[in-house]
Amino acid sequence: MSEEAKAPGGRTPLRLAVLGSALLAVAGAGAFYDATLQRGTRAGSGADGAYRVAITASACEPNVLSVPAGRRAFAIDNRSDRPVEWEILQGVMVVEERENIVPGLSQTVTARLAPGDYEMTCGLLSNPRGRLHVTATEASAAAAVAPTLKAFIGPLSEYKVFLGLQGAELLRRARQLAAAIEAGDLAKARTLYQPARLPYERIAASAARFADLQDAIDPAAAYLARREQDPAFTGFHRLEYGLFGDGAAEGAAPLVPVAERLVADLSTLNERLRALTLTPADLADDAARLAGQLASARIPAGEDRYAGGDLADLEAGLAGIGKIVGLLEPLVRTTAPAVADELKSREAVAEAAVRRLHGPDGFPSYDKVGADDRRALAAAFQALAESLKKLNPAMGLA
């Protein structure tokens, strides 16, 4: 964990990929197949060792993997011809995920895994899921509850208040958007679209845990087999496509059921968020994951293809991360003031990097944001992600 956190972004995956390829070449395909079914194949060794998973056009290879409990690294090779995402799921909950893995490249995903059975998503959302068995170890059996649990009850409660308030606001705004669409007032719906998205982005660190809902609420056409024509293209971006993209030619009618479904899904999301039990380590883990995802996928590629509202989304996502930073920073400061200082300064840098692009008329459409600006944004968010990853170890939670 600490090794990876210190490594500059991008270097570790490449090194692992090279090591992994070498190992594969030596081991041979038969041995590889055998080993993966038994206990997974490790590329490299020690704390940096990663389990290799290749994503093909139709599945993961291997599609069944067994690893010991603890912090584990997975080297994900995209052997399909499209950018893909890879996730570890427990039931409908996302444990860890990596988006926008480019064809031909490898990325490393690190997850802290408790013993149990998990699933892996493998590329397209329609592909069958792989299975991941996590076996118990001496360390996982001995892992005790964090000694300062009491200190986290207040911050965890406060974060749940935040989720509750933002979730309620999200539902209120989505209902307004749906009402405008049902009334056939697309001009009004266009003004309501971006505001309705913002609370969702603010709670993204937690909402992203519910894989089924995320796939219904926020799927990008790029991840679907038939893209915009795919029946699974639902949620916000489907509305965005119908309000701002080529879908606008078809008028309001096709959007009415999409908006209704979105409101229903957001309502379910609120129920799940209320029932969600967060552990102390979840706060920093979720924030770090979101910051890393924004840096590695959202910022380089953009997501709001039709309306271009990525910068407003980004600012809202950062506000959600900021809520967690504000809650954890005082706790970290007592044990590791240097980590707390770095966190606050990197948060400020990321805020400034977004704010810098704000003009007198608001944020520009994301297609107007050039490669240099995107690189600067990505660097700021990646630095913030690395800083967030240091929080749990600094609080004795890793």
Partner 1 sequence: MKLNRLLAGSALALAVGLPGLAAAKVEPSLELVQPLADYKIYISEKLQKLVDDTTAFTAAIEAGELDKAKALYAPTRASYEAVEPVAELFGDLDAAIDARADDFEKREKDPNFTGFHRLEYGLWEKDSTKGLAPVADKLLADVTELQGRVVDLPLPPEKVVGGAADLMNEVAASKISGEEDRYSHSDLWDFQANVDGAEKIFELVEPLVAKDDPAFVQRVSANFKTVDDTLAKYRAGQGFELYDKLSESDRTVLSAAVNTLAEDLATLRGKLGLN
16 or 278: CB nearest partner 1: 278
Q: How far is the CB of 158 from partner 1 (least distance, A)?
A: 4
Q: How far is the CB of 308 from partner 1 (least distance, A)?
A: 32
18 or 143: CB nearest partner 1: 143
Residues that bind partner 1 (CB under 8 A): 145, 149-150, 153-158, 160-161, 164, 274, 277-279, 326-327
Phi/psi class of residue 185: alpha, beta or left (left: φ > 0; alpha: ψ in -120 to 50)? beta
Instruction: State the SS3 of 149-213.
Output: HHHHHHHHHHHHHHHHHHHHHHHHHHHHHHHHHHCCCHHHHHHHHHHHHHHHHHCHHHHCCEHHH
Give the integer Cα–Cα distance in Å for 159 and 143. Answer: 25
Question: Is residue 223 within 8 Å of 125, Cβ to Cβ?
Answer: yes
Q: How far is the CB of 272 from partner 1 (least distance, A)?
A: 13
Q: How far is the CB of 70 from partner 1 (least distance, A)?
A: 22
30-to-16, 27, 368 alpha-carbon distances in Å = 21, 8, 50
170 or 380: CB nearest partner 1: 170
Give the integer Cα–Cα distance in Å for 334 and 329. Answer: 9
49 or 326: CB nearest partner 1: 326
* Those residues with Cβ within 8 angstroms of residue 149's Cβ, 6 or more apart along the chain or in another chain: 280
* Those residues with Cβ within 8 angstroms of residue 21's Cβ, 6 or more apart along the chain or in another chain: none
258 or 327: CB nearest partner 1: 327
Q: How far is the CB of 276 from partner 1 (least distance, A)?
A: 9
67 or 156: CB nearest partner 1: 156
Q: How far is the CB of 161 from partner 1 (least distance, A)?
A: 5
